[in-house]
Amino acid sequence: MEEKKLSFEDAMQRLDGIVRRLEKGDVALEESLVLFEEGSRLLAQCSKQLDAAEQKVVMLKKGSDGAPVELPFESEGV
């Protein structure tokens, strides 16, 4: 898993903000270009994330220190 990347929810929210900003049209040219670039990047990131998504299912067991331990879970007939 990549870390420090925006979560899907944050990415969508940021994207929404960028589109609204640009649609209002009161941004300077240079800023609008920066926003457009960021928006395009977020779009690509979200699409990629959707395309690459593969469901992960784990079963939690309490470890010896109490903290959760992940075990693979194979449910028959899924």
Partner 1 sequence: MEQTTLTVSELNARIKGLLDSDPVLEQLAVVGELSNYKIYPSGHHYFTLKDAESSLRCVMFRSSASKLRFRPESGMGVTAVGRVSVFPRDGAYQLYCTNLIPTGMGDLYVAYEQLKARLAQEGLFAPEHKKPLPQFPARIAVITSSAGAAVRDIIRVLGKRWPESKVVLLPVRVQGAEAPAEIVGAIRYANRYQVADLIITGRGGGSIEDLWAFNDERVARAIYESRLPVISAVGHEPDVTISDFVADVRAATPSNAAELAVPDQTDVRDALAGYEIRLSQAMRKHLTDRRARLDELSGRKVLTSPTAYLDGKRVELDYLRSRLIGAGDGYLAAHKQMFARTTAALDAMSPLKVLARGYSVATAADGAIIKSTGSVSVGDALRLRLADGALRCRVEEKEEPHGRKEAVL
| Smallest distance from partner 1 to CB 32, Å | 5
Q: Are 46 and 53 in contact (CB under 8 A)?
A: no
Q: Return the number of the residue (7 or 64) whose C-beta is nearest partner 1.
A: 7
Q: Of residues 4, 62, 64, 65, which one binds partner 1 by CB under 8 A?
A: 62
Q: Is 47 in the site for partner 1 (CB under 8 A)?
A: yes
Q: Is 30 in the site for partner 1 (CB under 8 A)?
A: no
Spell 46-59 as b/e; 16+ CB within 10 A means b.
Answer: eeeeeeeeeeeeee
